[in-house]
A and B are shown apart, each in its own frame.
Chain A
């Protein structure tokens, strides 16, 4: 078990009872994680987080959010650091960034390792 998963499981968060649809979301993200397609499906994750607070459409983060966070966090961090188009990057992944920011605080990622987000950045309106 990874350190983050361990940390998450020690938090006093209620474990939500999942509906059939939420179980299907869990199966979907588990499948993406286990087949190594997380990077390929970042757009889908952003879309899911546009309409839902967390990956399984729950009101509290679940273990799947943490498992996704472990893979997505370094990917997004690298894409933010390596791209000159900061605004474009923020705009493209805006919902993933919101979710990452919440989770990095919840999981108490050391300050120096955290992704520092610029909340004053004016982003283009999202076209749905």
Chain B
């Protein structure tokens, strides 16, 4: 049975969150484990991954992990930081830009040191959260993105409603 995937249409989320959700879903589709059958459902407001009536995910980190079949231990520093610091900030309405930039710098210096393939789900989630908070800093560190990430980025920009595309804070 194929998995029905929906992008985030931006209902009730901050702009950067919608973009990050869609980037993760697009990466999941791009790097999906071999043999994974997916269809994109344009009608659902998402983010969602649905299979039949009993399996549904609403969280884009879990969707990415499921598509990549990557459930490597999640109690590692990089993942803790990606969620508790970077993604937590993405969900906040008012965060001083300096603070967000500082957190992204810390991620770039300590965890996002390479984008060498094959990329783990943890690294992709870290990358997306940092990029969604400060795309310029991430682009400056990685002027040349791996093809899979570039394709997913284009897809995420296309799938994110125009009103939610601006990811600057």
Contacts and interface: CB of A to CB of B under 8 A. Distances in A.
Interface of A: 20-21, 23-28, 30-32, 34-37, 41, 44, 51
B58 interface: yes
Contacts of B62: 24-25, 27-28, 31
Contacts of B80: 34
B100 interface: no
A21 B55 contact: yes
B142 interface: no
A103 B127 CA distance: 37
The 8 closest A-B pairs by CB, nearest first: A28-B62, A34-B83, A24-B66, A27-B62, A31-B61, A28-B59, A23-B71, A35-B87
B36 to A, nearest CB: 11
Interface of B: 54-55, 57-59, 61-62, 65-66, 69, 71, 74, 80, 83-84, 87-88, 91
Counting chain A CB atoms within 10 Å of each CB, the highest count among B54, B59, B66, B71 belongs to B59
B66 to A, nearest CB: 4
A74 B124 CA distance: 34
A128 to B, nearest CB: 11
A126 B44 CA distance: 23
Nearest to B125: A31
